[in-house]
Amino acid sequence: MRSKNSLPILIIGGGIAGIQAAIDLGGMGIKVHLIEEKPSIGGRMAQLDKTFPTNDCSICILAPKMAECFRHPNITLHTYSEVKEVTGSLGDFSVKVLKKARFIKEKECVGCGECAAKCPVRVPDEFDIELRRREAIYMYFLQALPMIMTIDKDHCLYFTRGVCRICERVCTRDAIDFEQKDREIDLKVGAIIVATGFDLFNPVNISEYGYKRYRNVVSALEYERLICASGPTGGHLLRPSDRKPAEKIAFLQCVGSRDVKNNQYCSTICCMHATKEAILAKEHDSNVQSFIFYMDMRAIGKGFQKYISRGEAEYGIKYVRGRVTKITEDSAENPIIWFEDTQDSAIGKMKMDLTVLATSFIPRRGRVDLAEILGVELDEYGFFKVNDLTPLSTSKPGIYICGCCKEPMDIPDSVAQASGAAAVAAEVIMGVKG
Ligand SMILES: Cc1cc2nc3c(=O)[nH]c(=O)nc-3n(C[C@H](O)[C@H](O)[C@H](O)COP(=O)(O)OP(=O)(O)OC[C@H]3O[C@@H](n4cnc5c(N)ncnc54)[C@H](O)[C@@H]3O)c2cc1C
């Protein structure tokens, strides 16, 4: 099926969208280079506990796709790598990729973790959103692919102070290489798919919610890690201040979204992920009582309204319509929610054990540089801009977009767009379309 002369396709971003696009293209017999800036593929989906509306375990559905992508004979993975330069045009792009040194011999390391067990350094773990600490030599997460270690040069004692090298001594496979250097590789590709995903709004910017001032006010992504079996509390829903079970939980919607001072757009899926998170809390502990404070319920998907109704009827979630004006804290570090209930025209306050902020999806850090490298436009919010009637195409022929780097969306939509972008890119490089 593949034209003999066509070049491989480059995918930038190894979240669920990039993984799906790579698998689809690989299955068509097209060679793919997948670039991921982190030490592992997986993206945000790897950080989630379960996924709405089925409440399937997120990593259980993601891990087989990661493995398929990792093992696929037509897919070359470049993790811990960044695109530095792109020249050329549709059918004939030249790409410079920076492969950052992990200081690990990739072929030797089996990810046994003996080195990390002896590493004396502890630093906040980015994957667990700093709710736990990791070593300076680390595996990005438990199911990471490739399953190899990485040395964090900024914190490793050998790189910062010229001492230690314990990992080198304990590694029985001689897999540590302190001399390793960053490398540049040159690729020739016919088309490019951008799947760089999203970041999350920092709620510190809304000071009345006390995020980072109050330990029991967390973001929704932090909550996903707190409730996840592989997370920092082993899946027990314990509040950060005293590790006591959280039984009364407030979920605040639209934190940074639909807000003229921050991001005016709707982040689309927060009503659904908050409902899921409240359902999961009840499944963990039948004593839990959850309150979701919302402006409007936006359940824009098949079966989504039913999911919310089930949350209300079967899991006792209380939906309170009204914006929370502020959060304060009592002497036991319980967050106090001050709110207006617009349905009862009442003003009230409620004491909670834990408060969860559904923060806005925002454009990915680094997208301005990447857009410049690629020569494509960003939209008014900073997401990658697409053409209205060809919604997977950028302003530049041969460069396509899928997933949350375009706008906030859920996993099924990210996957559908990824398959769409793969099909369009394949069609173009096989010469069906110019
Ligand atoms: C709290 C929360 C709960 C959620 N719950 C659900 C749910 O229950 N169900 C559901 O359907 N959806 C849920 N989602 C949404 C889901 O996370 C997204 O739909 C999905 O992750 C989008 O995938 P993506 O591949 O587009 O982006 P991402 O997951 O962000 O992946 C992008 C990848 O690209 C990499 N990358 C970025 N920039 C570069 C670069 N310049 N070079 C190389 N690599 C780069 C990143 O490191 C990352 O690996 C939730 C989201 C949040 C925040």
Q: Same CATH fold, 201-360 and 9-100+182-197+364-429?
A: yes
**Does the pTM exceed 0.95?**
yes
Domain ranges of the chain: 9-100+182-197+364-429, 114-170, 201-360
For residue 5, name the pLDDT band (cuts at 50, 70, 90): low
User: At CB < 8 A and 24+ separation, what contacts does 366-369 make?
Assistant: 366/37, 366/196, 367/196, 367/405
User: Which ligand 1 atom lies nearest to the CA of residue 408?
Assistant: 19
Q: What is the mean pLDDT of residues 371-400?
A: 96
CA-proximal residue: ligand 1, atom 53 (nearest): 221
User: Which ligand 1 atom lies nearest to the CA of residue 38?
Assistant: 47
**Residue of 329, 327, 320 lying closest to 253 (CA atoms):** 320
H runs (alpha helix) in 45-148:
58-71, 114-118
Residue 3 has pLDDT above 80, yes or no: no
User: Which ligand 1 atom lies nearest to the CA of residue 51?
Assistant: 8
Distance 433 CA to ligand 1 centre (A): 30
Both tokens assigned to 94: 């030249």
Query: Does ligand 1 lie within 6 Å of residue 52's CB atom?
Result: yes
User: Which ligand 1 atom lies nearest to the CA of residue 220?
Assistant: 1
CA-proximal residue: ligand 1, atom 34 (nearest): 13
- C-alpha span between 41 and 69 (Å, rounded): 9
What's phi and psi for 191, nearest 5 deg? -155, 165
Q: Give tens-digit pLDDT for 256-291.
A: 999 999 999 999 999 999 999 999 999 999 999 999
What pLDDT score does 432 carry? Answer: 56
- C-alpha span between 391 and 315 (Å, rounded): 38
Q: Give tens-digit pLDDT for 163-193.
A: 999 999 999 999 999 999 999 999 999 999 9
- Percent of all residues in the chain with a pLDDT value above 70, rounded to a whole number: 98
Distance 45 CA to ligand 1 centre (A): 6
CA-proximal residue: ligand 1, atom 45 (nearest): 13
CA triplet 172, 176, 177: central angle to 5 degrees? 145
CA-proximal residue: ligand 1, atom 38 (nearest): 196
Q: Give tens-digit pLDDT for 75-130.
A: 999 999 999 999 999 999 999 999 999 999 999 999 999 999 999 999 999 999 99
Query: Is domain 201-360 in CATH 3.50.50.60, yes or no?
Result: yes
Query: Does ligand 1 lie within 6 Å of residue 276's CB atom?
Result: yes
Query: Does ligand 1 lie within 6 Å of residue 38's CB atom?
Result: yes
Architecture of domain 9-100+182-197+364-429: 3-Layer(bba) Sandwich (3.50)
Both tokens assigned to 96: 């410079």
**Amino acid (1-letter code) at residue 182:** D
Query: Does ligand 1 lie within 6 Å of residue 203's CB atom?
Result: no
Query: Does ligand 1 lie within 6 Å of residue 17's CB atom?
Result: yes
Place of tokens 């460069």: 399
What pLDDT score does 434 carry? Answer: 44
